[in-house]
Structure 1
């Protein structure tokens, strides 16, 4: 905040205080990661080569961990897709490629775009394993052959009984 802005804020605070209001004034620092990340955001333009590519200068002073680009097309019939070129990042430059479609580069044409280059080491995100339910198992198949039981034999007499007539077998 500049000195003039601070003075205006102080005068406004005094006026509110004189009117019987509560003044909450002061300056605060930026809230965010510490140390602040190294970021450069800008607008750029260039003329592409035969493959639809051009080299862009940046001022990070280090190889960017990521670069985000967004095409700014001035006319309704001048649309193109814009991407960064993998492996092209250096401490001072990166490359972009403009394409009309997946197979046709915007060769030898002017392109306009915005970019944000982020310095520092790239963040690697490792997926956390998800818990899976156990796979149901089938009961084991028996390995022994089932035993067979012989059918019972039928007799007319039950064991331990005497034949009718109660006889002793002696004629009588």
Structure 2
């Protein structure tokens, strides 16, 4: 089993790059079919989505637009308090929007992102996430349309996800293990 260490935390391979790419091809095929005549807007939530969104959009062959946003949190408060969505510089009124996330766990940031986008009155909003932790969700989301993999309450790194800023560039996904 492949393992790695980041800042004294130990990780073992959870999902390899080939599995990730196979799943992304399937999601891309579905998006191409569903949005064939619609010209959707893909909105990636940085920083974690960059690898997933890049590989996903290599599979999307229909006309589309791409934008990125970043969430800012209130300083000195818990992670559940978002202050603003930075970078949404595109008019979404009447558009079909696909939010691209690396991972959805509690759902706090996703809820904030969806609400900010819905204020612009898009035609539709769906979510495409590489990883979903169903046990951790604090909200019900009817618009999570595409899920790469459902995982347990594990701490993961790689493929855009980090630990202390490290590990985003790893092509596989690793889960934390207790040594």
Higher CA-based Rg: 1
User: Given the two structures, how large is their TM-score scaled by the length of structure 1?
Assistant: 0.23
Q: Which has the higher strand share?
A: 2
Q: Which has the higher helix share?
A: 2
